[in-house]
Amino acid sequence: MADTRAISTVLDVAFCLLFVTAAVGVVGMYLATDEVTHDTRTADHAAEILGSTTISVEYSLEDGLDASEGHVLDEPTEYDGLIRTIHGPIAGALADGAVTNLSVNDHRITHETVGYDDAIEGPLANELHAVPGRTAVTAAWMPYPDAPLEGTLSVGETPPPDADVSTVRLTVPSSFASASVPDRVNLSAAPSQRAGFEWVATNTSDAIVEGYFPPGETALAIERGGLDADRTVYRYERFADALDGVEVRHLEDHLEQSTTNTTESNALLADALAEQLVLDLEAQYDTPEAALESISIGDVTLVIRVW
């Protein structure tokens, strides 16, 4: 029997979907040049559909398992429950697909979205059939501009260079929206500018790692064993491989089924990530306050193009 659990379930620990908040929290903004002759209402209409329409998408983890590297994951034939179904607003499905498709230092953390974009394209096209022209959607998450972490998901073709394109951007909540983020009040207590940058980097890293690996839910997935445990361990090891200052061997005991300690695993990843982010933020921003102002881990931007 197909596994019809939504990807949002914490036991799945693949996509932390925020379908309900995505449906009510969409913010739109029309962007176009003065020369555009394409009816801009078509892009607006597409955006309304993405923010309010619910879809069901069935996809398989098999392609992602085949594309995975390393020793953690077995062959797809060794697992049950490869077929998954999501159900919720289109905007939420796209946003959380982008977050799941996270890369750190150009190092892809999971291959679970391999084939997901193809699976969602059909249901998306069905809902957008009333929109004249062709439509492409890109969902993108990045904690701040030019950060070493990003997640993207694209559905549809790239418009031709000479196409008359209308564009709308939507902002929807990411799966990091509930994570604690640094605030300016606490930053003011930093004794030096260096300490301020360290404070911003540390709190941002903690929020990112906690959002990607919720400690309680992630521990439960590992303790239960099977496919979801292997997928979770795989993501931890890939995240560690993408960073300096932490190695997979440092995580091994904490990711064993009988000795699971995701709090410690998360701390190791967050510390290593913070060391990189503090250098990156110092290089990009004149002050810790400016760096803090640029941080936005709770949102995913959807770019809808119609031509």
What does the pLDDT look like over 173-230, one tens digit per residue?
887 766 666 666 578 778 899 999 999 999 999 999 999 999 999 999 999 999 999 9
Domain count, the chain: 2
Instruction: Name the burial class of residue 135, with classes exposed (0-12), middle (13-18) and buried (19+) by CB atoms within 10 angstroms of its CB.
Output: buried
> Based on the domain organization, do 170 and 285 belong to the same domain?
no
Is there a domain that residue 7 lies in?
A: no
Host domain of residue 255: 184-294
Per-10-residue mean pLDDT for the chain, 307 residues long?
37 36 37 44 86 90 88 87 89 92 95 87 88 91 97 92 90 77 71 93 94 95 95 96 95 95 98 98 97 93 94
Using alpha carbons, select from 222, 271, 230, 231 the residue that is nearest to residue 250. 271
Q: Give the separation between CA 294 and CA 277, rounded to whole angstroms.
A: 13
- Which residues in 78-157 belong to E strands, given as ranges? 83-89, 102-104, 107-108, 135-141, 149-155
Using alpha carbons, select from 195, 237, 226 the residue that is nearest to residue 104. 237
Give the bridge partners for 104, in sequence order.
107, 149
> Based on the domain organization, do 219 and 77 belong to the same domain?
no
Q: Tally Cβ neighbours within 10 Å of residue 260.
A: 22
What is the DSSP code (8-state) at residue 242? T
pLDDT at residue 35 in the model: 42
Alpha helices in 161-243 (DSSP H): 184-187, 193-212, 215-224, 226-241
Q: Tally Cβ neighbours within 10 Å of residue 287.
A: 13
> Based on the domain organization, do 218 and 137 belong to the same domain?
no
pLDDT at residue 42 in the model: 80
Is there a domain that residue 111 lies in?
A: yes
pLDDT at residue 180 in the model: 64
What residue type is 279 in one-letter code? Answer: L
Q: Give the separation between CA 151 and CA 97, rounded to whole angstroms.
A: 8
Is there a domain that residue 6 lies in?
A: no
The four Cα atoms 19, 103, 222, 84 give a dihedral, to 10 degrees, of: 50
> Based on the domain organization, do 143 and 225 belong to the same domain?
no
pLDDT at residue 143 in the model: 95
Is there a domain that residue 11 lies in?
A: no
pTM for the predicted model, two decimal places = 0.83
- pLDDT for 29-50, tens place per residue? 333 333 444 565 688 889 999 9
pLDDT at residue 20 in the model: 33
> Based on the domain organization, do 206 and 168 belong to the same domain?
no
Is there a domain that residue 245 lies in?
A: yes
Is there a domain that residue 35 lies in?
A: yes
Q: Tally Cβ neighbours within 10 Å of residue 24.
A: 11
Residues 40/119, Cβ–Cβ less than 8 Å: no
Is there a domain that residue 189 lies in?
A: yes
Q: Give the separation between CA 9 and CA 214, rounded to whole angstroms.
A: 12
> Based on the domain organization, do 188 and 282 belong to the same domain?
yes
Is there a domain that residue 32 lies in?
A: yes
> Based on the domain organization, do 45 and 129 belong to the same domain?
yes
> Based on the domain organization, do 28 and 55 belong to the same domain?
yes
> Based on the domain organization, do 100 and 146 belong to the same domain?
yes
The four Cα atoms 190, 193, 194, 199 give a dihedral, to 10 degrees, of: 40
pLDDT at residue 40 in the model: 57
> Based on the domain organization, do 137 and 72 belong to the same domain?
yes
pLDDT at residue 70 in the model: 77
> Based on the domain organization, do 198 and 155 belong to the same domain?
no
> Based on the domain organization, do 138 and 263 belong to the same domain?
no
